[in-house]
Structure 1
Amino acid sequence: MVARTGLYAVLAANMAVVAYFFAQAGFASNALIVMGRLAGLYGALVMAFQLVLVARLPWLDRRIGMDRLTAWHRWTGFSLLWLLLAHVVFIAFGYAEGTGVGPVSQIIDLAETTEGVLRAIVAFGIILVVGAVSARYARRRLAYETWHFIHLYTYVAVVLAFTHQVAVGTSFASSSVATAYWYGVWGVALGSVFLGRLALPLWRNWRHQLRVTAVVHESDNVVSIHMTGKDLDRMPARAGQFFLWRFLTPDRWWQANPFSLSAAPDGRTLRLTAKAAGAGSAALRHVKVGTRVFAEGPYGAFTALHRTRPESVLIAGGVGVTPIRALLEEIEGHAVVIYRVATDRDAVLYDELRDLALVRGHEVHLVTGPAVPDKLAPAELLRMVPDIGDRDVFLCGPPPMMNAVLGSLRELDVPKPQIHFERFSLAG
């Protein structure tokens, strides 16, 4: 809550600063141009804020969670799209007013005669494409790898937009203080990306040097990868977190996929367990022992650090059991595990859950059967865990199941601070 409030406060303060420098620079006589310039400045600020959200900074990730940062990135992304659209439309009509040419012709003329405008048009086109593939309809139909690759072009748009602002931004050059402010904003944003997305992952992988030690086929379509490396006792990973994994083979080195740890880190080994749901996860079955691994992370706030109660409920659906399995190994106090699958054959890692529960004094409920009727409805949850309102609830599974369970928890009046979940989707 503190981190989230802090982020909003920083954004609001910067919006006020941008408005001040904009007013200090003076207003154009044309109201459309005034609105267009202000929309462009706020678009630049939101774009910088976007970079901080997806920089994967450990401080923010541990307190907020990568899924929530990604959700904010998504909505601020659409805000950015509308701000840039307003910037283009208002500027085009504003400059066209009184010239006798249309707005499209005016944009073409500006691109030909004004430094930085053509770069801005290219940047806007890239943002439009990224926005289109981020819409829910398109996102469901694109492979993760394709979507991620298209998202990488956003960095090209950022560079083009920044150089456009430097070249023609009246507010940018209105005073030395304004210039220093904007360089500072972009410096923090780009520096965050450099630190979180490049420097920190490179340093950690150089330090730990992960290698595959075993590939275990848990079922027909689920595989576990065991790894070891150097100084793993100094890796700041917790049960419930995930990494972006790259297996450095000739055909897969370029591809990163998010998978949770399926066992609590013990300072000597790491393990992930994945279901074949796409090309990347299916290829894990063919990884060889000894393969080098490049891991970005750990990420996620789905850990025992956020507990508010001494006792817990861990609810898993399908392969969403992997972070739940890891949490059960680390979590203190009495825990009730509810594992929802279609059939007994789908219950991967169930034997490990049962053995851990036996040793640590927890309960495990295996719930099988079709999706209808809902076997995790409020009455069913209350039957398995009568005191569920007094426990922390950790939830991971397919989105439809998670949405249904969250609805059940609301009906049971489980306080929101006691509900912990992550959807494990990443922005590029």
Structure 2
Amino acid sequence: MTTLAARTTAPAPAAPVTPVLRTRTRSHKKAWNVGATVFIWLSSLFVVALWVWGGGVTAVLGFNGETLTTLGRLTGLVASNLLLYQVLLMARIPFFERGFGRDEITRMHRFVGFWSFWLIMAHIVLLVLGYAATAAINPFVQLWQFVWDYPGMLLATVATLCIIMVVVTSIRRARRRIRYESWHLLHLYAYLGVGLALPHQLWTGADFLSSPAATFYWWALWAAAAASVIVFRFGMPLLSSLRHDIRVASVTADGARGVTVQMTGRRLDRLNAQAGQFFVWRFLDGPGWTRGHPFSLASAPTAAGLSISARYAGDGTRRLASMRPGTKVMIEGPYGHMTGEVRGGTKLLMIGAGAGVAPLVSLLEEQQYAPGDATLIARDSVADDALRVDAIADLVARRGLRHVPLVGSRSTRNSPWISVSHNEWRGAHLIQYLAPDLGEYDVYVCGPIPWMKHVTRDLKRAGVEPERIHSEAFTV
């Protein structure tokens, strides 16, 4: 069996770390989660109640054209509600961020997005068939009349086409073929689709104006969605960026295909950022600055400086290498719950791949642990591509970090998250070998989503409790 050597040196003596219970923090987070979940379910039930009050159940029992029509009304109501939640979930509202976390919101956004799309399709088909059956005309004739004769339906047609375009380009296979910058621009058309759908709902949707309660609900939800985008996506980031006056201080190469950007600003401690979190960054260095990119903090944040490290993966990351000191920076955040607050044990096992090592290094710089009680497994296909090498070496020398680099192509046997050089190892056995007293560890995982799934699977097989596994995903 291959021998694994962890890079360590004798660090300066350090006092043992006393276990810190974070019951209050976890209870607080759970309360936010319960509140956000209850809010979504209650509002969804209210929408169904509107349909029931409007005679929906009675109409369904008729088993005629009206049955199809009322089911079309129901799918339209639910689809509208989900579309607005799409906006609210991605508006980065603190209520949802604290309740669910960024990775859970991202999964919900994708899940809700596809469900709202299929419900919109069902809404159109059911209404066309229902009206056509009632009027005894061809469904295609009915569809033509809907588009041209009903108020707001031309705008609704354009809205539907926008949403179809967003959904098609969000399918994973299609998205892999599109540059991130192009996909991000196309994705913004979802806002246009949601906005263009409003007129036909107000002009032809009886359920939207059937009662004062319904009218209030829909106008309140629309206003909340619009205000959330304006306040949380534009207003607050702009004010925060102006207040802290963040600028690029230096840009240095980090590995063969990466870069580290150091930034300075005023009173950055008031951002309340923590190691392990991320911001959405916009560098005002020319065309393309409007596209935000999520990068994790690569070192523990201080009152005077922030830093990020990125692997070249597209035009947005390659632009970082050419930025000049003094470039202004706009930020959104901080976001994310992969922080020290979720720790429950005294030891740390960090498992990162590629650029995912950067937030783990920031946590290792910030958190307390005794020499030998923190282990970093860093996965890279090529040794020269490794990020934060100097920072890791410093942690090894000063704080007794155990560093286990796994370099090479992926394993072809049981655990594709490890390198082919360790094919004879099973992932769970490797984890148990490096951290035999797993009950004392918190495990932080960061890297590509499919890779993290393999790591998490082996962590559970090794006996790590789910609440001790901490990870975060940034993609939609």
Q: Which of 38, 46, 53 matches 2:82?
A: 46
Q: Which one is further off, 281-290 or 102-111?
A: 102-111
- The answer for the alignment partner of 1:345 in structure 2 is 384
Q: Name which of 382, 387, 392 aligns with 2:432.
A: 382
Q: Residue type of the partner of 1:25?
A: G
Q: SS of the counterpart of 2:350?
A: strand
Matched-pair contact (CA < 8 Å) for 1:240–1:324: yes
- Greater RCO, 1 or 2 (C-alpha within 8 Å, sep 6+): 2
Judge conservation of contact 1:209–1:292 (CA < 8 Å) in 2: yes
In the alignment, is the contact (CA less than 8 A) between 1:313 and 1:388 conserved in 2? no
Partner residue in 2 for 1:355:
394
Deviation at 1:330, TM superposition (A): 1.0
Which residue of the partner structure matches residue 162 of structure 2? 126
The answer to whether 1:370 aligns with 2:420 is no
Contact 1:264 1:326 in 2 (8 A): yes
CA drift of 1:288 comes to: 0.8
1:25 alignment partner in structure 2 = 54
Maintained 8 Å contact 2:282/2:292: yes
Rounded Cα–Cα distance in structure 2 between residues aligned with 1:383 and 1:130: 46
- In the alignment, the residues of structure 1 paired with residue 207 and residue 317 of structure 2 have an alpha-carbon distance, to the nearest angstrom, of 48
Q: How far off is 1:63 after superposition?
A: 4.5
- Residues of 1 paired with 2:42 and 2:98: CA distance? 24
Pick which of 363-372 and 308-317 moved more: 363-372
AA aligned to 1:24 is: W
Question: Paired residue for 1:414?
Answer: 464
Matched, 1:403 2:453: yes
Secondary structure, counterpart of 1:97 in structure 2: helix
Q: Please state whether the residue corresponding to 1:30 is helix, strand or coil.
A: helix
Amino acid paired to 1:208: H
Q: Structure 1: which amino acid aligns with 2:392?
A: L
Query: Structure 1 residue 355: deviation in Å?
Result: 1.3
Choose the corresponding residue for 1:211, options 234, 239, 247. Answer: 247
- Residue of structure 2 equivalent to 1:288: 324
Counterpart secondary structure, 2:208: coil
- TM-score normalized by structure 2? 0.85
State the match for 1:77 in structure 2.
113
1:222 equivalenced with 2:266 (yes/no): no
**Whole-angstrom CA distance in 1 between matches of 2:320 and 2:45:** 50
Residue 392 (str. 1) matches residue 392 (str. 2)? no
Secondary structure of 1:320's aligned partner: helix
Alignment correspondent of 1:234:
270
CA–CA separation in structure 2 for the residues paired with 1:222 and 1:169? 53
Contact 1:244 1:258 in 2 (8 A): yes
The aligned counterpart of 1:107 is: 143
Identity %: 37
How much does 1:55 deviate? 1.0
- Which whole-Å CA distance do the structure 2 matches of 1:310 and 1:351 have between them? 25
Under a length normalisation based on structure 1, what TM-score does the superposition of the two structures give? 0.94
For each residue in 1:188-219, what CA deviation from the matched residue of structure 2 results, as whole angstroms up to 9, or x when unmatched? 22222222211111111111111111111123
Unaligned runs of 5+ in 2: 1-29, 60-64, 413-417
Aligned residue pair count: 426
Residue aligning to 2:209: 173
**C-alpha deviations, 1:385-413, integer Å up to 9, x for none?**
11124311001123343222112112112
* 8 A contact 1:389–1:412 mirrored in 2: no
Helix, strand or coil at the partner of 2:216: helix
Partner amino acid for 2:337? A
